[in-house]
Amino acid sequence: MKCVIFLVTAVGLLLAASSLLPTDMSTTRANKSASWFVSPSPVGDDLSGDGTWDKPFATIQKAIDIAASGDQVILGTGIYSGDGNRDLVFRGKDLTVRSLSGARETILDAGGSDTAQHRAFYLEGGLDTTTYIEGLTITGGYSSSGGGVWCKGASPTFVNCVFTRNTGTISGGAVRCKGSSPHFINCTFFANHSGSVGSSVFCLASSSPVFKRCLIAFSTGAEAIACLDGTCQPRLQCSDVYGNAGGDWVDCIAHQSQTDGNLSLDPTFCLRDEGDLRLRTNSPCLAQFSPCGLLIGALGDGCQATSVTELEHQVPSDQLRLAQNYPNPFNPSTRIEFAVPSATHVNISVFNLQGQTVATLVNQELPAGRYGLSWDGCYPDGSLAPSGVYFYRMRAGLEVESRKMVLLR
């Protein structure tokens, strides 16, 4: 097999990246007057860099401070952390901050904690929806409210962003909106936390955030979206709100459930516990299955679907049970049956002798019952796993069971 290496110029990368943006972005930034490039240290350097492609800055704030209203700040692949890459302020400038490689490859880690509170962005000063933040994962934010992003009198547009594992100890784990109406287009909110209200988003003071084709799932501590009072009116369109600890379509978004293409279904992430938020090929959030015929969330498919069937004419089990696969040894596929005594999140994965994950067969909430599934002896990309000894492990809540199987090609 031959490997082909493509050499792409900076201009080519920008053109390629722009062609992948959703239709909402068709009018984005053709008129931007300058572009400033940033790359994490040691590639980027705030002292010797000048913000060009060949000599990028190391911090996002450095580029923002030098940029003029109407410019782009373009982020290379990597993890952005530490001072200069958190608590970012736009100083009233109409800018675009965007990545070249998308949210999976461009991570803004605020690194906040109870003793050192930080968020990714603090946006104020009349910014409107012509200010764009695109293709970033925003994580690690920690504050009393608006752990990831604080919008105060500012209404920027977030496109293809992932908000994950941000904390608002009181409200707004991911985002706080005060007198703001930001737009979120094809964004994923996952595992954000609030100590009281609005685990993903909290609104007050006549805020009306807009969510188009967004995925809000598995947040903890409170409902997905909350409003202080009736002056706030979040609007959701073709969005999936599911599995949030304090409720999904409740509070100020209750009346939008099952309307305008909205849904509440398990998005079936590839490996949610490991942070792989791509979707399985049977996800209801993929374009071919979603109510609006377009992708819901920031990330597309990244792994094969696994069919889990409930066994008919069986009484529910009163204990957790993982049966021996059959046939065993097997080629090309084998069947695994299991039982759960109560509703819980179930993960069944296959590992090789080195402890590496070979395949994840199920990773979803299941009601009490007896189930069966098959493994085709393949990796998630469809290639064949080699002959050998494998282990399959079921994790259901706090309980774990595992068994051995043999694949013979």
Instruction: Answer for the pair 73, 98: CB distance below 8 angstroms, yes or no.
Output: yes
- Identify the bridge partners of residue 162 per DSSP, sorted by sequence position: 137, 188
Phi and psi, residue 42, nearest 5° = -95, 0
Cα–Cα distance, 241 to 263 (Å, whole number): 7
Helix (H, G, I), strand (E, B) or coil at 397: coil
Cα–Cα distance, 339 to 320 (Å, whole number): 6
Q: Tell me the pLDDT of the chain (409 aa) as tens digits.
A: 323 222 233 333 333 333 333 334 333 334 447 999 999 999 999 999 999 999 999 999 999 999 999 999 999 999 999 999 999 999 999 999 999 999 999 999 999 999 999 999 999 988 999 999 999 999 999 999 999 999 999 999 999 999 999 999 999 999 999 999 999 999 999 999 999 999 999 999 999 999 999 999 999 999 999 999 999 999 999 999 999 999 999 999 999 999 999 999 888 888 787 788 999 887 889 999 899 999 999 999 987 666 666 654 455 567 889 999 999 999 988 999 999 998 888 999 999 999 999 988 888 888 888 888 888 888 876 778 999 999 999 999 889 999 999 999 8
Please tell me the CATH code under which domain 309-407 is placed.
2.60.40.1930
Helix (H, G, I), strand (E, B) or coil at 341: coil
Give me the amino acid identity at 126.
G
pTM score, two decimals? 0.74
